[in-house]
Chain A
Amino acid sequence: MKFCFQTHGSERTTVKMQRIRQQLSKSAATFFGCLAAFAFAQQAAPANPAGASAVISANPGNASQPAMSPASPSGQRLFDAARDKLVQIRILTRAGGSQASVGSGFLIAANGTALTNYHVISQLVLEPQRFRAEYVRVDGKRGEVALINFDVVHDLALIRLEGLTNAAHFSLRGAAEPLRQGEKIYSLGNPLDLGFAISEGTYNGLVERRLYEQIHFTGALNPGMSGGPALDEAGRVIGVNVAGTGGELANLLVPLTYVRPLVSDSRSTEPDKKLIASQLKMHQAVMVDALLAKPFKRQALGPAEVAVGDDSLLRCWGNSNAKPEKLYRSESTSCALRSSLFVDSNFTTGTVSWDHTYRVGEKLGAWRFAAWQQRVVSAQGKATDAVGAKPTRYLTRALCEDRFINAQGISYRAAVCVRAHREFEGLFDVTVRANSVDREVESLSSSLDAKGVSFANAQRLIRAFLEVSKWR
């Protein structure tokens, strides 16, 4: 019995698709085994697009989701048409030629120019003396990869596939043809290093509360598909696979908005770490300006008013443990800007988050409340230190300044800690912890974390942050 999914196509194409389907079926057992392993691995590093795995993840947070929907006739047709335009990007060690990580890419010009994610080729940028890259086409042909340009903010990279001339390539969908919600889109790549595959899904608009536009793709993306193309039904590129969200089939694509400037930017110098630094600086300026464009909103937290973010930019979450049988009560709210940028598998930056916790313990009395406060805050301080106080490859150790301060009628014991970015001049990670000390059985603890910001912008953030909170 033949499977004739495609609406137009030759017998040969049908046989090819059958083979692909058989390959996928054969791989299923292995595939789901790998999925379980990836799911476990990703739980440990949900926000890391590349993760620590050797396969560059397009969907690190949701590896347990079904890998592929059954391919539709359109999918078969698109995949067939895309075969010669897809490549797998492999990062290899220069010393032994061992495979360090893999991702996907796709041709956008006949001269071998291709697109992928920055996080796929980050090792090539950061440690060119240790790593090189090669591409592997669907037919198994391979060649060297040269870096042309990258955009670390939007996780894109422009590369040249050496040895290709007059290559078949994808065309980009025009800006004048916006996608409509519910429109079918197809994501291609090499998931889990199992072989090239296509995943069918739908376009669900742009992700809300983001500093930069990202396409909400409801469809499967798996590790290894990063840098692969997302196509419309006409086979035109509408975005680039980039990351998962941790939700079921909710994944992210980079829209063409950011691809076009990258392609048209003709660099005369070789892209290196300095380019990363300049892009990170631009990003932090955009981020802080966006945050401070309007004064922080105030929200009640117990008898205090605290700073929360602009709903259009970020989401704040709250929690409370209020129970009548307890001797104490605490309420908290935390806000985070989803703007974290991947620089290296061990280093993400460019984000701001903060939280406030109000604690009250009338039944505890002053002595026990003080002891409780001390333990809680001390534990938080140590936890902060545990995750980032020692010098690393990218950050210096922390330096702190602490004082009793008065702000908006609240007396705080406050500390600010600063770590400089070693590789990227003029950028810092800044953390502020402030604990109110003016009331005997209630307190307000506030903390602010800004990663990859200039010192001036850090000071702006600290001031704006501490000036908002007050007792009502």
Chain B
Amino acid sequence: MALIPADVAHSVDATASTAPASSARDEPQLVSAHLDTGVFIELLDKHEQVSQRIRFDTLPVTIGNHYRCDYILDTDEAAVQSVVVERDEANRLHVRAPNPFWAPGGLTRDWIVDPERAFMLAGERIRIRTRDYAPKHRRMSSDVIRRLSGWTLLVALAGAIGLGAFQAWLIDIEGVRTSQYVTAAFAVVGMLSLWAGAWAIVSKLTGKSTHFLAHLSLAAIGMIVSAIVEFVFDSVTYSFDLKTLWQYGNIVVWAVLGALVWAHARLIVRTRAASAWIAAFVVAGSVLAIEWTSSFNARSTFAQSATLNEARPPGWRMASGVSLDSFQKSAARLEAAAEALKSEKPEGVDLGQYGE
């Protein structure tokens, strides 16, 4: 199939979709004046890969097999004038078929252009995009980077510092106050900066910009979300005596960490999707593995027991207790269980040594 560009258009390489309009060989003023209204007509193969891309700087554009069309389909199946690409009053890009008989689908006369979808016209797979088009993940990334700056950054950073100060206040039972809070705030800022700095280096190595502030903002949000998730889990666990939730609560926290790593990698650094997932699994998985080995080493000990590691959240309900009889009855199982452990090696593999 041969595509014959009309004289008002020029051919561009399929891999250079963002080539500047000034590279056009004719009428540079016209191209400049209609920069935002131009479209790319893309001819796709059956695998939806672009086999040819033509840029038109003025609308409307007609696509058909007549030599009066702007974009000529070299096929006998097409009508003299198959479709017209034009903008409506709201500046939306439309495809209109003057003759419904030749319209794709037979009856559809007019539809809004979807840059993600191709349509069939005279046996050809055609897609229309504009200069504003960006792949989905890049569009999201740009959006995220923009949203993470400005007020979001200020609020997130203030929140993280506030969280650090709150935690310092919680443990300030000696009334040291100012010095302790400032230290905590510096610690939070330092920690976030280190984290964001590491990601900024990754950004710089894989692109042109460090996006340090975006990384910093995301790190601060991650810290706040982690703290909230952990608090909610601990509180619910304690208030309702949900041991299982306590045991697996860390997994949720590390899922938050994994999501944070994914967001850094995918949305800001703009790595490939697979790389972002691998980074998330490796970082969160490693930390979870360390936690797990520590937990394994401390299994069935006081350190492992929810009893002694979770404080009662003030003002919340407290789980109802059992009688001393019930407690002793349930503890009775420990006699046989402890006897059964005699065969366990005194000095077996100590996974805990790698965990802490």
Contacts and interface: CB of A to CB of B under 8 A. Distances in A.
Contacts of A380: 302, 308
5 closest A-B pairs (Cβ-Cβ)?
Answer: A366-B314, A374-B311, A381-B302, A404-B321, A402-B307
B309 A378 contact: yes
Given A401-B333, A415-B302, A366 B315 contact: yes
Interface stretch (A38-46, A280-288, A417-425): A417-425
Contacts of A94: none
B106 interface: no
Contacts of A422: 342, 346
Interface string B109-125: 00000000000000000
B346 A327 contact: no
A327 B174 contact: yes
Contacts of A371: 170-171, 311
Determine the main DSSP class of A at the interface with B: mixed
15 contacts: A368-B171, A368-B173, A369-B314, A372-B171, A385-B303, A391-B341, A399-B338, A400-B304, A402-B306, A405-B321, A407-B323, A411-B321, A419-B338, A420-B338, A455-B335
B10 to A, nearest CB: 69
Given A385-B298, A392-B346, A414-B327, A397 B305 contact: no
Given A372-B173, A385-B302, 12 more contacts: A368-B170, A372-B171, A381-B303, A381-B309, A397-B301, A402-B307, A407-B324, A415-B302, A415-B308, A433-B302, A433-B308, A435-B307
B307 A396 contact: no
Given A372-B171, A405-B324, A396 B314 contact: no
Interface of B: 169-175, 241, 297-315, 318-324, 326-328, 330-335, 337-339, 341-342, 344-348, 350
Given A400-B300, A467-B324, A370 B313 contact: yes
Interface stretch (A4-12, A105-113, A180-188, A458-466): A458-466
A273 interface: no
A381 B308 contact: yes
A406 B341 contact: no
Contact of A403 (B170, B304, B327, B333): B327
Contacts of A396: 338, 341-342, 344
A343 to B, nearest CB: 15
A34 interface: no
A393 interface: yes
Contacts of B318: 404, 411, 437-438
Contact of B312 (A326, A370, A382, A401): A370
Nearest to A363: B175
Contacts of B299: 397
Contacts of B334: 399-401, 416, 418, 455
A399 B337 contact: yes
Nearest to A410: B321
Contacts of A407: 323-324
Contact of B341 (A327, A365, A397): A397
A108 to B, nearest CB: 38
Contacts of B172: 368
Contacts of A462: 328, 331
A390 interface: yes
A233 interface: no
A411 B304 CA distance: 21
A361 to B, nearest CB: 7
B85 to A, nearest CB: 64
A392 B348 CA distance: 10
B344 to A, nearest CB: 6
A405 B335 contact: no
Nearest to B328: A459
A435 B322 contact: no
Contacts of A399: 300, 334, 337-338, 341
B313 A412 contact: no
A398 B321 contact: no
A364 interface: yes
Contacts of A368: 169-173
A397 B344 contact: yes
Contacts of A327: 173-175
B309 A374 contact: yes
Contacts of B338: 396, 399, 418-420, 428
A338 interface: no
A433 B302 CA distance: 9
Contacts of A357: none
B322 to A, nearest CB: 6
Contacts of B173: 327-328, 361, 364, 368, 372
Contact of A406 (B301, B302, B323, B328): B323
A57 interface: no
A145 to B, nearest CB: 29
Contacts of A428: 335, 338
Contact of B331 (A381, A406, A412, A416): A416
Contacts of B342: 396, 420, 422
A403 B320 CA distance: 10
Contact of A466 (B300, B301, B324): B324
Given A328-B173, A372-B173, A418-B335, A398 B301 contact: yes
Contacts of A372: 171, 173
Contacts of B311: 370-371, 373-374
A401 B335 contact: no
Contacts of B303: 378, 381-382, 385, 389
Nearest to A397: B341
A371 B309 CA distance: 10
A210 interface: no
A326 B174 CA distance: 7
A428 B310 CA distance: 28
A326 B169 CA distance: 15
A405 B170 contact: no
B321 A403 contact: yes
B305 A402 contact: yes
Nearest to A372: B173
Nearest to A406: B321
A297 B179 CA distance: 46
Contact of B302 (A373, A389, A390, A466): A389
A390 B170 CA distance: 32
Q: Which of A371, A377, A402 has the most CB of B within 10 A?
A: A402
